[in-house]
Structures are given as C-alpha cells and as structure tokens.
Structure 1
Amino acid sequence: MAAGDKATKRKGIQSVEIGMGVLDALVRLGRPSSMTEIAKASDLSPSQAHRYLASFVNTGFLRQDPATALYDLHSGALQLGLAAMARLDVFEQASRVAQELVEATGRTVQLAVWADLGPTVVRWYPGSPPIYTTLTIGSRLPLIQSATGKIFLSFLNESFVSDALQRELARDRTDGPIDIDAIRQQARREMSAGVDGTTIPGLRACAAPVFNLQGQLLLVVSVIASQSFRTDEDPQVRERLIAACRAITHRLGGRWPEQA
C-alpha cells in the first residue's frame, strides 16, 4: 500500500472488513454458492469463511438452503440494500461520472431522461473548448436523428416511444425508409449509438444507457464533440462512455444487460 493510501485509509475493525469481503464475494458470484466457492472468492480458508457465514446466517443477512447447503443473500441484506438505494440521488451519482468524463476527454457531456414529449436534456457539462449550440437544459431531442434518441428508441419499452416515433416518422422527409429495427439491433449490440452532424451540423455525439434495478432504461449519457476534436479518438471515447454508464448503473444498484 502506498504511503498516501496509508494516510487516508481510516483505522477500522479488521474482522468487520473481512466479513464484508465475504458478503461482497457472494454478490460478485451472482448466485447461491457453496462455502468453498465463497471462501475462494473472498481469499479465505474454508474454516475462516464458515465462521463469517454462520454469523451472517444468524443475523439474517444470509440464508443456507437446507437441501443444497448453498448460501444466498437473505432479508437483512435486502433491507440494507433497499435503504441504501433509497438514499441514492440518481443525478448526483450520474453527475460525478459525467464530470469525470469531461475531465478525461475534454468533451461536452449531457444527461437526458424520457419526458412526456420524448428525450429531454436535464444536465449539461461543458467541455473545453466548449461547443456552441442551441441545445440546452430542457431541449427535446429526436428519436431517430440523435444519439440520445436512438438509445431511448432501442432500450425503452416500445409502448413509451411508439407515439413519439410515429410523429417523428410522419415529419421526416428523408430519401428512403428508415430501418428502425436495424437502429435498435445495432444500439443493443454495441450498447451505444452515435450520430455525426445529423442533429446539429458540425457536432458528433455518442450516447449510452444507464439502467435501474429492474434492468429498465433510467437515463442516457451522451458525449458531444465539435470538429476541433480528433475523430480518431472517438472509438476510445465511446468505450470510456460505455464503461462510465456501466459504472453509474452499478452505483445505483442497477442491472446491466447480460448479453452486453
């Protein structure tokens, strides 16, 4: 451990920290698990792990299936998790990561949610150099021609987007039909969507989803770049954006799609 880490890490009770490591191991395993599996995942001997597991069973944080002897989370862990989630501010968590994205990439970042009329910008974090655009907090974005809209189109329940989509298709006067299924398939496969100048000329954007506990789309994070930013850096920024959205999802106790 570095000297700085020693200085900042608070002195605690080692047995509590080890016990929390056992719980964390079971969470990471993602399924009911044997004592041997949990011990290995928490870097303990089976005898050490058994004592912690027994204590967590006694206090209601874990349960052991009498038929399989496998351990799993129980009501105490659920109550603690729900209480923690109730105290989470969605936008505070997302804002922290958004600001980190701005610092790491220099690009402008926006957050959007689904409102009555469609995708709506609710947070704006200017990059350096800043971009000049008519977009602002409260702006509504198109479903088909914006990166943010494509994410809502692809991950939000179709019953939510159908009316807005039909209105947009009726207004659109492109040269040919728009393949909505192809847009959805690509966004779901890549866990992101991008546009280059279709919403606002001269601006490129990439967007990715954030999910809640039930795996439902909660909000969309987008990174926006002007022509002053190099296009060959876009793939790296996209990967950083996806990782950031996955991190926000996990901080909120959300569920990232298994296929992704």
Structure 2
Amino acid sequence: MPDTSHKVHAVEKAIALLDCFWREKRPMSLTELSRMTGWPKSTVHNLLSSMMDSSVVEQSPADGKYRLGLHLFEYGCAISEHWNVVKLARPHLNALVAKTGESAYLASLNADTLLIVDSAEPNNVFRVASTVGNRLPVHCTSQGKAILAYQDAANVRRILKRAGMKSYTVDTIKSAEAYLEQLKLVRQMGIASEYEEYHNGMCSFAAPIFDYEGVCISAVGIVCFLHSGDRKSAVSPETLEALKNTAEAISTELGWHG
C-alpha cells in the first residue's frame, strides 16, 4: 500500500478542486463547487482564495464564478517545451494524414488510461475527431494495446485491475488473459488493432513509439469507419505500412536504434 503518512491534505483538496473545473470544462460558482466536493463553502472559499493569489484560479467580476487561471496555461507551456515527443511527432502525424486520409492520434499512458496528446485530421467531410486531452481506456483501444504490449505481463494485469475492463460493445475484450494473448500478436506484427471494441462501426490501428532507451512511451494510431462490418477492407496494407513507418520515424528522432 502507498505511504499516506506524509501527504498534505490541503494540497490534495486543492487538486481535487481543480479537477472539478477540468471535468466540467466551464466556470462554476462557490455553491456548485461545494456541492460537487461535499465540502463546506468556507473550506472551498479558502482554497479558492489561496489559489487566486497565484493566478491558478480566477474569479469573474461579472457573475462571481470561478475558472481555471492563466498560470495553469503557463505550467502547460513549460511542460510542452520539454515534451519532445509531441513536438517531434507533429510533422509525422501531418504526413500520415496526407498519405492515408485517416485521422491520426498520438497517445501516451497516464494514470492507467490513454491520454491523447496530439492529433491531426484530414479535410474530409467524413472523419473521426477526438479532442487533445481526452482520456481513453487501455483495454479496448489499439493505442493502449500498442503501448502495453511492451510492458511485462504482471504490470499489465495490475493496470487492468486498477482501470477495470468495462464493456463498451459486444466485442470489447473482457478478460486479462485474452488481452495478454492479443499483446503477443502485437509484438509479433508491430501493429495493434481493434474492431468495434470501443465504438460500434469503428476500428483503429496503432504502432508503438520507443525512446532512446528502447522504452515504449507512446503510440501513434489511426481511426477508421468500418463500412458494412467488412474488416478486411477497413484499412489497406499500404496504410498499415505507413503507420508503422511513422512510428519508427518518430522513434528514430527520439534516439531509438531498434
């Protein structure tokens, strides 16, 4: 069990309060925040006041509602400056979209879920769109499989146990053992796939990205519509080859020599 003896509860509460804004994605009143957290208004007000001093939280003079402050944006900029994979991957994502005509995404494992850290979309009328910053489950997405395929089985089981294996469709993988069998195929082929495991009528494919130490840190993936349930025609061999080449090119720029 994690050691909780040295945790600062005020900091934990402040983070929980910030999470309220992140989940709702809108300004909120003191009453709303008190109701969401279950804390007294005085507690919430004190936390907000402390964070306002550092511009982590701001209050609208018009309606008195609170929102995330610009200092958090500065934190985000500082992170992105050092997150080389996003900067390096951007031109490769654009090239992949131009070549395949499919929506492309870059995702990383974070807190037992997938975090979409960048995306590129074609100009087609019909396309699959996903917002940067969204979180996705690892067990029924191709990018989750692409990343976890290169972790040891014990750690994969721990992640699946913590995150759960919620059924999104009738095709969602429901057992850790079946999932681990799929990861073996991912390692053999260098490509992960899922057909209607997360959304009906859609499929996705992903390839792993490795850093200079050979650690799989992210995955690049494409999402396609599954027309008439025909899995064989969902994606061409040329598109899968372009996907693998994209992941390898990003890995090479990160210093990988696999």
Global fold match (TM > 0.5): yes
Structure 2 equivalent of residue 220 of structure 1: 219
Structure 2 equivalent of residue 131 of structure 1: 127
Q: In the alignment, is the contact (CA less than 8 A) between 1:194 and 1:207 conserved in 2?
A: yes
Structure 1 equivalent of residue 22 of structure 2: none
Structure 1 equivalent of residue 247 of structure 2: 245
1:157, distance to aligned residue in structure 2 (A): 4.9
1:136, distance to aligned residue in structure 2 (A): 1.9
- Cα distance in 1 for partners of 2:173, 2:213 equals 39
- Cα distance in 1 for partners of 2:196, 2:174 equals 19
Letter in 2 for 1:151: A
Structure 2 equivalent of residue 94 of structure 1: 89
Is 1:193 matched with 2:189?
no
Q: Deviations over 1:72-91 (max 9, x none)?
A: xxxxxxxxxxxxxx999321
1:124, distance to aligned residue in structure 2 (A): 1.5
1:221, distance to aligned residue in structure 2 (A): 0.1
Q: Deviations over 1:206-247 (max 9, x none)?
A: 000110111001211001112479926432211111111111
**Helix, strand or coil at the partner of 1:155:** coil
Runs of 4+ in 1 over 6 A off after TM superposition: 173-176
Cα 1:201/1:252, change in 2 over 3 Å: same
- Cα distance in 2 for partners of 1:87, 1:152 equals 21
1:161, distance to aligned residue in structure 2 (A): 4.2
Q: In the alignment, is the contact (CA less than 8 A) between 1:195 and 1:204 conserved in 2?
A: yes
**Helix, strand or coil at the partner of 2:136:** coil
Gaps of 5+ in 1: 1-85
**Helix, strand or coil at the partner of 1:98:** helix
Normalized against structure 1, the TM-score is what? 0.57
Structure 2 equivalent of residue 166 of structure 1: 161
Structure with the greater alpha carbon radius of gyration: 1
Q: In the alignment, is the contact (CA less than 8 A) between 2:165 and 2:174 conserved in 1?
A: no
Overall identity of the aligned pairs, in %: 22
Count how many residue pairs are aligned between Structure 1 and Structure 2.
Answer: 170
Normalized against structure 2, the TM-score is what? 0.58
